[in-house]
Structure 1
Amino acid sequence: MATSLKLPPQLKSRVVTAAKGAGKSPHAFMVEAIEQQVAQVERRQRFIEEALAAEREALETGKGFNADEVHEAMAARAQGGRTQRLKARPWRK
């Protein structure tokens, strides 16, 4: 699919300079930049969808994880330690 992209002169000049610095044609540089931006938006959307699904699951089951335990486990793993698998527990009263 052919698409025409009108760039302001200053931006076009910056793209040409950046593309040369990256060893790419301006066209290849712009295609890559658009692909990266689309991928970022798609990742963000998946993250939001997963977070909303997790929230629905927590509200439906009434179970969740203790934040302090999660933080401790993450810190231990970041330092190369091993941790026990955390279990969701009821939080509703």
Structure 2
Amino acid sequence: MSTTTLRLPPDLRDRVSRLAQRSGTTAHSFMLDAIAERVANEELRQAFLDEGNARFARMLETGAGLDWSEMRDYLRERAAGGSPITPKAKRWRE
């Protein structure tokens, strides 16, 4: 494992120390967990954006997509616990 030095402003260092102590861990472990969580969230965010961009490119390439009103109704019914039929892609441009 490599070593990296973090220069923390005194107020942030004190907050980390306080929270780590209350969590029953060390400041080092607390910071590692915080960094790991942020990295995982950013990776998930990037994957979400990449998938959205790929889907948008495919939509532009094929000219097919989902009707928003049908998709909105589908999502509402799913959120309410229902089992709606998944909307089918349709040509939206020629």
Deviations 1:29-82 (Å, cap 9, x if unpaired)?
000000111111111111111111001100011000011111111111111111
Q: What SS does structure 1 have at the residue aligned with 2:19?
A: helix
The CA distance in 2 between the partners of 1:31 and 1:62, in whole Å, is: 46
TM-score (norm 1): 0.94
For residues 1-56 of structure 1, give each alpha carbon's deviation from its aligned partner in whole angstroms, at most 9, with x where no partner exists.
Answer: 11111111111111000111111110000000001111111111111111110011
TM-score of the two chains, using structure 2 as the length reference: 0.93
Structure 2: tracts of 5 or more residues without a match: none
Paired residues, number:
93
**AA partner of residue 46 (structure 2):** Q
Give aligned-pair identity as a percent.
Answer: 40
Q: Distance in 2 between matches of 1:33 and 1:63?
A: 42
**Separation in 2 of the partners of 1:80 and 1:52?**
29
- Kindly report structure 1 stretches of 4+ aligned residues shifted beyond 4 Å: none
Partner of 2:46: 45
